[in-house]
């Protein structure tokens, strides 16, 4: 069973947060997949509400057998991250213009 199939089998357990339609018929698009994580875009078939979901495959008992992987929707991604204010950008510009050395040193100093 491949990832979209697994996700489809899980989707019917969820309902759209906007229109409360069961997600069994929703659109599922895997954007990226790396290791046991995947970023998936789910589109409601009824109201076209889109959500990005980070999927983490969880394995019971530490097994990594493919057929024992059970995807669970464990965390969402905020739709609107905190915007960076122009003041913060100015501070960053000052910091960078005053900085001598490499990028590592920049990250190390707190
Ligand atoms: Zn909907």
- Residues with Cβ within 8 Å of 104's Cβ and at least 6 positions away in sequence, in order, are none
Question: Distance between CA atoms of 96 and 90, rounded to whole angstroms?
Answer: 10
C-alpha 33 – ligand 1 centre gap (Å): 25
98: which residues sit within 8 A by CB, 6+ positions away?
A: none
Helix (H, G, I), strand (E, B) or coil at 4: helix
Res 75 pLDDT > 90:
no
Residue 13 neighbours by CB under 8 Å, 6+ apart:
23
Supply the pLDDT for residue 99: 75
Instruction: Determine how many CB atoms are found less than 10 A away from the CB of residue 68.
Output: 12
11 C-alpha to center of ligand 1: Å? 13
Query: For residues 21 and 100, which has the higher predicted lDDT (pLDDT)?
Result: 21
CA pair distance 45, 27, nearest whole angstrom = 6
> Which tens digits make up the pLDDT trace of 50-68?
988 888 776 554 433 333 3
> Measured in angstroms, how far is the CA atom of residue 26 from the centroid of ligand 1?
9
Average pLDDT over residues 72-93: 66
Task: Enter the DSSP assignment of 100.
Answer: -
């Amino acid at each position: 069973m491949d990832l979209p199939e697994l996700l489809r089998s899980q989707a019917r357990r969820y309902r759209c947060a906007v229109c409360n339609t069961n997600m069994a018929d929703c659109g599922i698009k895997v954007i990226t997949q790396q290791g046991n994580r995947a970023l998936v875009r789910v589109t409601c078939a009824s109201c076209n509400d889109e959500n990005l979901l980070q999927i983490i495959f969880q394995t019971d008992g530490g097994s990594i057998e493919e057929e024992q992987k059970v995807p669970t929707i464990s965390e969402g991604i905020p739709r609107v991250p905190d915007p960076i204010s122009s003041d913060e950008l100015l501070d960053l510009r000052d910091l960078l213009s005053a900085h001598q050395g490499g990028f590592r040193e920049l990250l190390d100093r707190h």
